[in-house]
Structure formats: C-alpha cells, structure tokens
A = this chain, B = another copy of it.
Amino acid sequence: MRAEILCVGTELLIGQTVNTNATFLAQGLAALGIDCYWMSTVGDNFARLQEAIATAWGRADLVLMTGGLGPTADDITVEAIARFLGEPLEERAEARAHVEALFAARKRVLVPSNYKQALFPPTAGVIPNPTGTAMGCHVARDGKQIMAFPGVPFELKQMWREWAEPRLAKAGGGMIRSVLLKYTGIGEAMLAEQVAGYLERSNPTVAPYAANGEVHLRVTAKAGSPEECDRLLAPVVAELSALAPHYYGRDEQTLPSVVGDRLLARGQSVGLAESCTGGLLASRLTDIPGASRYVRGGVVCYDTALKVAMLGVPEAMIEAEGVVSRAVAERLATGAREALVADWGVGVTGWASGGPGVPEADAGLVWVAVAGPDGDVEAREARYGARTPREMVKYFATQAALDLLRQRLGGSASA
C-alpha cells in the first residue's frame, strides 16, 4: 500500500504554522509499515485542492488529508472531496446531533455556520471526533481510500489512534513492530557511541533520536507476524534496556509516569518546592491520570520571601550561599516534605535565563534536590548555558529533578 499525505491550509503556505501534522501521520504510517512516497500541501483554494486530490488519488492507494474541516467559508476539504466524487453535500443526521450535543455540553451558542460541519457526500463515511465538532470524512472505492482529518493536532491524533490506526493495522499484511527505548542524563552522540554495534543491524534496526531533554532508541523489526517481530525484538530490547542508570522506560512511558508508578508501588507521596521551574514540575507530574493518588501538591516559591515563610529556608542561608545553591535546593526539598506532608520532597532553584541580578556565568544554572522518607537529601547541579531559551531551561530542570527522584525511588517496589 502506498500512501500520500495531503495537508490543506493557507497558514502552512505562508509559514504561520509548522506542519507537525504531516510528521505525526508520517510516523503513524511508518509504524504500520505503510510506505509514504509523497507529502503535499495546498492552501484554502478550491481549484488547487481539487487538483491535489486527483493527483494523490492517481498515485497513492491511501490519501491522508488534514485541515479544512472547520465551520468557516475557507474550510473546503469536504466540499472538494464531494466534487471529486461527483456527489452533492447532504446533512448527516448523526453528525448534526454530534455538533449540537457538543455545544449543549459546553453551554455555548450554535451559529448557523456550525451546521456546515454536518454536511457529507452521501457515499462517504463519517470519522468520529470525540473532542471537537470537526468530524472526519472517509472515502473508500476501487480499493483506494481517502481519510480526511481536522487540522487541530490533538483531535487529529485522537482520531488517528482511535479510528484509523486499528483499521489500517488490520488491513496490512507484512508488518513492522517497533519499541521505543528512552534514556535520560546522556547525550545522543554519547549514547550512539555506546550502542554503535546495534546501529549497523538491519533487522531489527536501531535508530537514535534526540528528544526533549532525553534520547530515544527506536528498535524496529519487520516480519510476517507479530510473534515473529517480537522474537526478533526481544534480545535487542533486553540488552539496550540494561544501560543503567540512563535507561528509564519505553514506548508511552514518560519520566513523570515512571516516577508515578514507583510512588504508587511504594504507597508513597511527593511534594514539590519549585522556584525557577515555576510550577512546570508539578504540572508535568499531574498530567498523568490518577496523579492525585501520590502528588500531594507543590509550592511555587518564586518570591524569596515565600521560600522563607512557606518552606523554612533561613534568610541567613540565602544571604550566605545565594538563592541558587545546593544548600537552598536541599532545604527546599526538606521544606516541601514538611509543608506538604509528603514522603518525598523535591526542591528546584535556578536561573532560567539571564537578567538583572543574575551572575553572568550562572544563567542557565539549576540545582535540584530530593529529600527521602527518612529525611536524607541528595542534590545535583545542572548547567544549561546562557543561550538556552528560558522555557527549555525550565523543562530540562524538571527532567533533572524527575530523574533524580526516579533514581532514588529505585526500580523495585520495596523501599
């Protein structure tokens, strides 16, 4: 099966939006073992969209479209598909009901143009959108398919995973299976050097990717059945997962989910005291469903006075050591345990970016500390440099804090 990705939206052609949707779909196709030979982008222009659909249909068996499913006049994807099929647009009752139900649930007022999203060509299928009003459009004829998804990334992702992926996986013959192994506290080049022998293999292949504050290895096997794939993958995955202390999890696991699982297994809780990360650490931990079972809460002690008043950092310590120091990070970790009545406490203090009052050499300097159930504290220093953007320093600092907590929690459920 040959696929083409066709993205619709003038915002892409004027460079207002980076086309991450195309990348997401390309990854999805690759994971299913479906070859993608073309990607195309056109604007909200009927004639050119017509031409693009016809071209894609002529050279591919599966056309994945994104964008142009909104309620406004420049959203023309479904109309273009209808024209391509030589069909009119008709209101689909269940689609109209979906739009109305969504608006009712959110207590928002429908305007007439919202009903446009209930129009489909008669022979097309409706791809359900669990979150938004822009349902997808599915065409299947002559052994070929078009699947049109909305351009809103999280809606596209949800619809791909829940609707498209299972259908395509079932249809495919020879298959690809891959495992994503995740590492932290090590650079891409260094990890690649450590696993150099694996990078030359052909089945399974091993490919390194730099991710946000971590490095991933994708191990991919091709075979005739899932079992055969798994048999090829197992020994390589086992060896590559043994790279301590950097390996932390695989596939959907994230540092916050791994930390959460270990806290749950121990029946313990965590409290956070964040200065430079400004709440991002708490936010990442609470992205995980069920986090309320082990996250007690946090204090964003941005103001120095709050570090003193709410977390018990002695003013004299701040004066003597500086607010970004091992001593303050350690005291924040201990203070978080105490103030938030948690088993584990995490403290973070640093300079997320340069500015008035920040020592030149220290922009991007962060101290993270973890206080354990028996009160012992461990701290680590990290330097991300003055040129690293503020949001990245914040994110990297949460990675460092989560990784220290993960290592202290250990791999097993026992204390």
Contacts and interface: CB of A to CB of B under 8 A. Distances in A.
Interface of A: 10-20, 22-30, 36-45, 48, 52, 70-74, 102, 105-109, 111, 113-114, 130-131, 152, 154, 158, 178, 180, 187-190, 192-193, 199, 207-210, 218, 220, 272, 274, 277-283, 285-287, 289-292, 295-303, 305-306, 310, 339-341, 352-353, 355, 383-385, 387-392, 394
A298 B300 contact: yes
Contacts of A355: 289-290
Contacts of A27: 14-16
Contact of A297 (B17, B306, B387, B394): B306
Given A39-B41, A278-B282, 12 more contacts: A11-B209, A14-B178, A14-B218, A16-B209, A18-B23, A38-B52, A40-B40, A106-B384, A106-B385, A272-B279, A279-B279, A297-B299
A43 B37 contact: yes
A37 B13 contact: yes
A37 B42 contact: yes
A52 B391 CA distance: 35
Copies of this polypeptide in the complex = 2
Most buried by B among A220, A280, A353: A280
A213 B347 CA distance: 31
Given A27-B15, A40-B39, A287-B394, A303 B297 contact: yes
B283 A292 contact: no
Nearest to A286: B278
A340 B306 contact: yes
A210 B18 CA distance: 13
Contact of A274 (B17, B23, B220, B279): B279
Contacts of A36: 13-14
B39 A12 contact: yes
A300 B272 contact: yes
B111 A152 contact: no
Contacts of A109: 190
B131 A388 contact: yes
